[in-house]
Amino acid sequence: MRAYPPSLLEALRKKQHLVRERGIDILVKPIPDDDRPGAMDRRLLEITEPVVRGLRGFFIQLFLPLFLKNRNPRLLAAFMRRFFNGVQSLPLAEGVSVRHDTVRNAGVEIPVRVYRREGGAAPRPVFYYIHGGGFAAGHPDVVEEIVKQVTALSGCVGVQLDYRLAPEHPYPASLDDCYAVLKWIYQNAASLGGDKNRICISGDSAGGNLAAVCAMKDRDEGAGMVRSQVLLYPTVNLAGREDENYRFSLDQFTILKEHRRSILFRIKSMRCSSEGVLGCVLGLRDQSPPYVSPYLGNLAGLPPCLIAYAEFDCLGLESEAYARKLAASGVPVRVIRYLGLGHAFAEFVGVQPQAEDCMAEIGRFVAETGREPA
């Protein structure tokens, strides 16, 4: 079931092109049916405009930044759960089964879901996915179609978890859960139909942070569990440190005049939520340690990485900077920029053609990096 004609997918792929920017190659994916520079995709515009239009929009834009700057972690968590817990996708994947299981971690039962495509030979690569939601929101249902679609396209074994959320469970509870499930996958891969030596770890937004940190911790401990990583618009610099690779400013965004109000709302609302809010929810005073802000750590020796992000996401600049730092550290990195979209676009599988295209790119990456050595 799709909310768009397949021709938009074809147009998107015909228009894609490679650019070289500040030392890295970026595969640019334009809006399939709008060639205007700085335009917002009309499907996202239809969702955004009612929020920013008129008196209601005026008050939302006035008070949202003020609310997000409050330092009550429970109120912030309630706000994020109100807006991040909805399922936006439509079912596309067929022939994928789901099995529910639990992983025990120091007395805590962590729910996990295991996805398998019908047919195919085992062992298969494993796609381990961690949902986003600002460390305080989100759940497996929100991203289930992402995991199903990648599983269907690549033939891998998909796994995701329902990790403990802040502020009820402060840092490092979420990281501990995610790393415990990574070890469980590695130890039980054969019984899942997967190959323990071909695990791709992935996540979006805060989940991208957790995936990147798990890959870093795996390297630091010399465990060798992670073969590759896929990060969707990850938040990797919670400390907000600027350097030669990263600087946030609105003048780095090309914005079509007619869409300016909606675009700025998307960028600024996410920017507000990333300025100290996540650290507050996690219960952290210092957000600079690498296991909190992996961007500030040593990236040498990390596994190959695919990073995908949207043009009108404040985390896009952060994603690009992380890609440049990975490349400078000798890590093979593939970068994709989707024009006209905002944060969390991958959740719109079946609704936006770019989300489906992104799943195809991830599926290819998982298959390529998950090939058995010759």
State residue 58's pLDDT score. Answer: 62
Give me the domain span that covers residue 80.
21-369
**3 pLDDT above the threshold of 60:** yes
- DSSP state, 130? E
- Per-residue pLDDT band for 83 (boundaries 50, 70, 90) equals confident
Residue 207 lies in a domain: yes
Residue 331 lies in a domain: yes
pLDDT tens digit string along 353-363? 999 999 999 99
Residues in Cβ contact with 260 at an 8 Å cutoff, skipping those fewer than 6 apart: none
- Per-residue pLDDT band for 51 (boundaries 50, 70, 90) equals confident
Q: Using CA atoms, how far apart are residues 270 and 313, in angstroms rounded to an integer?
A: 7
- Span 101-122, mean pLDDT? 92
Ranges 136-140, 141-145, 277-281: which has the least confidence: 277-281
pLDDT tens digit string along 223-243? 999 999 999 999 999 999 999
Instruction: Name the pTM for this structure.
Output: 0.96
H or E stretch at 187? helix 173-192
Q: Using CA atoms, how far apart are residues 148 and 129, in angstroms rounded to an integer?
A: 11
Q: For residue 225, give the nearest of 233, 216, 234 by alpha carbon.
A: 216
Give DSSP secondary structure letters for 294-344. GGGS--TTPPPEEEEEETT-HHHHHHHHHHHHHHHTT--EEEEEETT--TT
State residue 31's pLDDT score. Answer: 98
Torsion of CA 216, 212, 112, 192, to 10 degrees: -60
Residue 15 lies in a domain: no
**20 pLDDT above the threshold of 80:** yes
**34 pLDDT above the threshold of 80:** yes
Q: Using CA atoms, how far apart are residues 173 and 185, in angstroms rounded to an integer?
A: 18
State residue 61's pLDDT score. Answer: 65
pLDDT tens digit string along 195-206? 999 999 999 999
**274 pLDDT above the threshold of 70:** no
Question: In this structure, what CATH number is given to the domain that contains residue 197?
Answer: 3.40.50.1820
Ranges 44-53, 274-283, 318-327: which has the least confidence: 274-283
298 within 8 A of 330, measured Cβ to Cβ: no
How many Å separate Cα 215 from the centre of its chain?
A: 15
Residues in Cβ contact with 185 at an 8 Å cutoff, skipping those fewer than 6 apart: 126, 128, 159, 192, 194, 196, 199, 225
**68 pLDDT above the threshold of 70:** no
Give DSSP secondary structure letters for 226-274. -SEEEEES----TT----SS----GGGS---GGGHHHHHHHHHHHHHHH
Q: Using CA atoms, how far apart are residues 74 and 234, in angstroms rounded to an integer?
A: 23
In the three-class reduction of DSSP (H, G, I as helix; E, B as strand; rest coil), residue 339 is classed as coil
Residue 7 lies in a domain: no
Residue 9 lies in a domain: no
- Span 364-368, mean pLDDT? 95
Q: Using CA atoms, how far apart are residues 277 and 65, in angstroms rounded to an integer?
A: 11
Residue with tokens 């650019």: 19
**53 pLDDT above the threshold of 90:** no
State residue 293's pLDDT score. Answer: 97
- DSSP state, 296? G
Q: Which residue has the higher pLDDT, 128 or 369?
A: 128
State residue 236's pLDDT score. Answer: 97
Residues with a catalytic annotation lie at 205, 313, 343
Residue 2 lies in a domain: no
**374 pLDDT above the threshold of 80:** no
Amino acid at 45: L
Average model confidence (pLDDT) across the chain: 93
Residue 10 lies in a domain: no
Residues in Cβ contact with 121 at an 8 Å cutoff, skipping those fewer than 6 apart: none
Domain count, the chain: 1
Residue 355 lies in a domain: yes
Could you count the other beta carbons within 10 Å of the beta carbon of residue 141? 14
**182 pLDDT above the threshold of 80:** yes
Distances (CA, A) of 202 to 67, 101, 179, 311: 31, 19, 12, 20
